Structure 1
Amino acid sequence: MRSQIQRQAAHALRCSRHIPAARLQSSTAPLQPSLRCAALRSISTTARLRTGEAPRPATDFGSLDVLGNTPAPSTSVDVCMHDGFGLNSNVTIRGGDGALLVSGEAFSWRPWAVRGDGQMTILNKKGQVEFSKEAFGVLDLLWPRPGTTPSPRPFLLARMQMQWLTEATDLLIIGVGKEIRPLSPDTSKMLASLGLRIDVMDTRNAAAQFNMLATERGVSDVAAALIPMGWKEGVGAALPEDHAKEQD
């Protein structure tokens, strides 16, 4: 028995001398980088659908519109016309007049008329849009002013009964016609003195911006001053039939 065991041990020793060294490495040796990367790429964290399970429906982004069910303000602009505007309240401003939308109220606006020279112009010699303070007389009556502490003002007590005079407007969106033009420094300074932030753009985008912000924040926080889309310097925006009506 002992001699048989010795022969088997000697045979195993002879066989081990012919085995390459790479095959004698421990099985706990780390994986090569390429094998490790291949192992990582094979891992998937995506849940598989079960047999017979219907695919998940796509996300309905329309349902994420939090303002979708919010009613539009009555002064929101439904259509920008060549010579005026159509509002959500079915009020139509025509005849080449602009629109001044303040605290839920709509006014026909003719900033060029207060110049007193009879010229149909809103641009200065530098091509900048320039309005006088009288063109924003309604905004000058807003009380309390944005950023100020209200204090008793007896001469405004009667006017304070009107809601649109007692709510502070924070942002004024100005639409300057079909093409965007800069405001003159004097106009910007004058509006800033009323405590208003200003956003100037073409009339179509200004109306869309006003609609969105008035729906989101309320009509008391944002106002709009819009020049008609068909405005031309020296001519205005009134159509020929509008001039005929004025002469009649």
Structure 2
Amino acid sequence: MNQQRRMAGWTVKTLVGCWAVLGALTAQAAGFSVGRVDIEFADGGWKELSLPDQEVAFGGDKSGALGVESKLYLRGAPDGDDQILVIVGAHSEGMGGGRAARMTYSPQCRSDEQNYREGNEGFRESFAQCLTVTPPYYSEGVFKALAPEVLALQASGVVSARRPVYTVWSRHAISTGSFVDVRVFVISPIGVDKAAVEDPLPKGVLPEHVVWGRQLKDAVKSSVYSLSGRLVVPPIRLKSPASGAAGGGG
């Protein structure tokens, strides 16, 4: 009888642990938040996974470190054509960061031969804004550079880093220290209604991703300046993968 009770107790504890993990992964969209940011996705089916908290050094006239909270949002099958990974990072201590001093930035957001970028440049600027759009690169190299936390999750089977991915990344930071950073990784291209882009694009960078990225950039900026921190992620509509798409360097 005692043995049966012990086995029953072990089973209950195991089930509780499993449900806790599943609950973290299947949180409803209404409960999605990172730091001071409330996140809204256009579609359902997203899963949420907390990432280790970090700190980044203040810049400008303010000393100390800024608390950062990050979460990973997933949709689609790991390594499938429909896999979407979205990492959202934000200042975890609310709007402000002290009125006596201000952070300044020296952004260098400009395109190069491989990647498209648009944002600001300068020295001791009051804000830093940058949108980065890349061609498909082998995901292991991309995650190693931009999202090492994702590589650590491969063993769990939740994510996969075996296929080339496109990256759309937007970040906006202001003088109070508040910022929002959104990194989107997709295997299949994102589709938009109109994909006309006047700027010359590096090889492999899709005009659709620049158009969609500009929508994301506007949403990120709005979230930073909003008292509520509300972040409305533009709809992510995937197209069929480009036939024969090969990963670039990374």
Note whether the superposition's TM-score is higher than 0.5.
no
Please identify the structure whose Cα radius of gyration is greater.
1
In proportion to residue count, which structure has more strand?
2
**Which of the pair has the greater relative contact order for Cα pairs under 8 Å at 6+ separation?**
1
In proportion to residue count, which structure has more helix?
1
Calculate the TM-score normalised by the size of structure 1: 0.24
